[in-house]
Amino acid sequence: MFPILIDASWLTIYSYPLFMGLSWGLAYNLGLGYLESRGLDVKGYRMLFWGTFITSWIGAKVFFLIYSSGDEFVRYSGASEFWFGGGFVFYGGLIFGTLFILLWTTLLKKFPLSQTYLFLPALCFGHAVGRVGCLLAGCCFGTASQIPWSVHLHGAERHPVQIYESLLVFCLGLFLHRLITKNTRPLTVTLTYFSGYSLFRFLFEFFRGDIVRGVHAFGLSTSQFISIALFIVMAAVLMYLKVSTKKEIQ
């Protein structure tokens, strides 16, 4: 673990907030680049980004309070260091951020919903960078293992689940980028992201060793139950689209 990258008398740099900042900065610039490369209007993009950032932050914190704080719920919820420090659940951020985007684009009409699929590769690449910060900080760690590529965390050799997720969401981002460059339908790109990530996350969780994530019925974690629900919803939407398309052809 390297929770502190630089510890000098005049400068201290913590790995987790550094990589979190890098992940959001990368996502912002890549999202802007996708719009500009297609000659699209970037008006409203900055407000969309910051609104998504704030609501995602709140959502990730709320989910942590609900599913991971345990008996410390009251103490965490009233502590400013919690709200401005570590302790996040990615799915909470994804859900709250998605709801904000839908509100901003459909009800308030401040940005075209039809263009938001362009940000999904940026989300993946930013997510991949952020998970490196998790590894360095020692959070979201894996189960004990003696595999050749294990990492030493919290007194044991463990699965580097942070790197597993980082690599796979990076590959998912590359795949989404390819779909976009081939002018694939926006809805297809969106379905690919949500179904792909939910599948990956369901599998990652079997290698997670930190009990703070919350383990429930059948030995499955909170994130696994969310992954199952999300995958089912995406599959249902895909089936509905196929049936609708078939009826139109007939």
Is the residue at 102 inside a domain? Answer: no
In this structure, is residue 139 part of a structural domain?
A: yes
Number of domains in the chain: 1
User: pLDDT-based confidence at 192, cuts 50/70/90?
Assistant: very high
What is the sign, positive or negative, of the torsion defined by CA atoms of 124, 25, 92, 241? negative
Is 93 inside a domain boundary?
no
Q: What is the pLDDT of residue 108?
A: 94
The answer as to whether 235 is a domain residue is: yes
Looking at residue 69, its pLDDT comes to 83
* Residue 168 domain flag: yes
Name the average pLDDT for the chain.
Answer: 92
| Domain interval for residue 165 | 4-44+111-249
- Of residues 135 and 216, the one with the higher pLDDT is 135
Mean pLDDT (whole number) for 93-116? 96
220 domain residue, yes or no: yes
**What percentage of the chain reaches a pLDDT higher than 90?**
80
Q: Is residue 65 part of a domain?
A: no
pLDDT at 171 over 80: yes
For residue 61, which amino acid is it? K
Q: What is the pTM of this model?
A: 0.94
Q: Is the dihedral of CA 14, 15, 16, 22 positive or negative?
A: positive
* Total residue length of the chain: 250
Location of structure tokens 């595999």: 147
- Classify residue 98: in a domain, yes or no: no
The pLDDT of 205-213, averaged and rounded, is 83
